[in-house]
Amino acid sequence: MSNQRKSGFATLAAGASLACALAVPGSALAQTTYGVALLSDFSGPYADIMPMLGKSREAVLDWWNTEVGAKLGVKLNYKNFDTRYDAAQTASLWPGIKSELNPIAVLGLGGPDVAALGQRLPDDGVALFMSTAAYGYAWKPDSWIINPRPTYAHEHAAAFKWMKAQRGGSQPLKVGIISSEASPAYVDIARGSERYAKENPSEVQLLEVVFTEVQPTDLTTQVRRLVRGGVEVISIQTNTAAVVATKRALQALNAKVPVITSSHNGLPASGKAAGGLGQMEGDFEAYGMAIASDEDTPARRFYEKLKNNYKLAAPWNVLTLMGMSQGLYSVRVIEHAIRKNGAQNLTGAKVREALFAEPVTTEETFGTLPTLKFAKQAPFPIEGLKVNIATIKNGKYVIAATNVDTPAVNKW
């Protein structure tokens, strides 16, 4: 065969290959790219958790792009933006985020994102997917802010009820709350718990809500008041600094009172900040998400896959699990939107509509979350609300309770 003829066949083959590549969904040449914005805090009160939460949600996006998106003809182009967990900073960054990424979804961090963007998202046509529990001020119908968990007040109300049952007796559980007026989210969480305590006096007696600095150093005076009042548990749903300051005060007062945290300031992170997990002996954390225990679970196996195949360097703990769960349910909703609408011309509005069209099953999120069935009445699932509770026992992080029923909490 002549060189000219060989060249002709090569040209035809290359053309055929190109045509096939363009025709096959999922091929590299057919991929459509969409932006996903990651709101983060690398320099504010949650900078200590970002190496875990942030890296795990990035690893999930890398996994999805490689193993799911490539087959659907879609790649998610993600980028972190440092909001410093500050509403003003988030608001100032938002126009640039929209211009640069034109995102079809935003993965948020906490309350300042909600406060800054809640009124803007409907006009901009993009949903904000959170990893946290919900907030009372965002509890409204037809929301563009999406939480996989109920409100923080729901989660700790369930924990209070469980702790009262464990204690026994008919007297209400005496509770203290450490909060801060530095963030609208912190104030909102405290108000929700106040509402629950007021309407359920047989379950909870709220001794005091202590408002302090966002990163307090000494809470001895405030904690002494709680101890003198007979406090049985101190609820802290702000940050790790508040947990450490409360633990230091309890130690200084030689008071054996457990604290209960959420996931973003949970036992492993707070223990690390306090000098070791043993510092949190007998304390609790409660939230509507899987617990990063040592058992062999689908969530743990998926984590190992991210670690081995997608360069996830974060340890197996609740903060890593929090980022994994956020990333997983977010990409699954995007995936549902692609399967319904196709890979071309996807929008944030289409992604949001897919959220309400069908549940995100626990199998899809590898057990990191329960099956999530969203409706437009609330920004969080309103059916089958449960929480899981972890504790530190003999220096080890263990499950204390699973599938604890969440009591009704009225809007505040």
298-315 b/e (C-beta count within 10 Å ≥ 16 → b):
ebbebbeebbeebebebe
Rounded to an integer, what distance in angstroms lies between the CA atom of residue 246 and that of residue 376? 38
Position 227 scores a pLDDT of 98
Topology adopted by domain 152-287+387-405: Rossmann fold (3.40.50)
Distance of alpha carbon 149 from the chain centroid:
8
pLDDT value at 8 more than 90: no
Sheet of 145-146, strand order: 74-82, 32-40, 103-107, 127-129, 145-146
Band of the pLDDT at 14, cuts 50, 70, 90?
very low
Position 183 scores a pLDDT of 87
Band of the pLDDT at 30, cuts 50, 70, 90?
confident
For the stretch 238-272, pLDDT in tens is: 999 999 999 999 999 999 999 999 998 999 889 99
Position 385 scores a pLDDT of 86
Band of the pLDDT at 20, cuts 50, 70, 90?
very low
Mean pLDDT of the chain: 92
CATH class of the domain comprising 31-150+295-381: alpha beta
The more confident residue out of 104 and 17 is 104
Using a pLDDT cut of 70, give the percent of the chain over it. Answer: 93
Q: Where are the domains of the chain?
A: 31-150+295-381, 152-287+387-405
Residue 267: both structure tokens together: 């036992």
Rounded to an integer, what distance in angstroms lies between the CA atom of residue 279 and that of residue 389? 18
pLDDT value at 215 more than 70: yes
Position 16 scores a pLDDT of 38
Position 383 scores a pLDDT of 80
Position 11 scores a pLDDT of 39
Residue with tokens 């070791």: 276
Average pLDDT over residues 219-235: 98
The more confident residue out of 386 and 59 is 59
pLDDT value at 29 more than 70: no
Residue 62: both structure tokens together: 């890398």
**Are 31-150+295-381 and 152-287+387-405 the same fold in CATH?**
yes
Task: Locate all alpha helices (DSSP H) within 290-366, ordered by sequence.
Answer: 298-309, 318-341, 348-357
Rounded to an integer, what distance in angstroms lies between the CA atom of residue 277 and that of residue 275? 7
Cβ neighbors of 258 (< 8 A, separation 6 or more) are 233, 234, 282, 283, 284
Position 171 scores a pLDDT of 98
For the stretch 360-385, pLDDT in tens is: 999 999 999 989 999 999 999 988 78
Average pLDDT over residues 64-70: 98
For the stretch 179-211, pLDDT in tens is: 999 988 899 999 999 999 999 999 999 999 999
Position 168 scores a pLDDT of 97
* Among candidate residues 314, 251, 260, the one with its CA nearest the CA of residue 282: 260
First CA to last CA distance, the chain: 83
Band of the pLDDT at 407, cuts 50, 70, 90?
very high
Position 335 scores a pLDDT of 98
Position 382 scores a pLDDT of 81
Average pLDDT over residues 292-311: 94
Task: Locate all alpha helices (DSSP H) within 48-132, ordered by sequence.
Answer: 50-64, 70-72, 87-101, 111-117, 121-124
Sheet of 259-261, strand order: 204-212, 173-180, 233-236, 259-261, 284-287, 386-393, 396-405
For the stretch 304-347, pLDDT in tens is: 999 999 999 999 998 899 999 999 999 999 999 999 999 999 99
For the stretch 133-180, pLDDT in tens is: 999 988 999 999 999 999 999 999 999 999 999 999 999 999 999 999
Residue 364: both structure tokens together: 């899809």
**Contact yes or no for 215/207 (Cβ under 8 A):** no
Residue with tokens 């959220």: 355
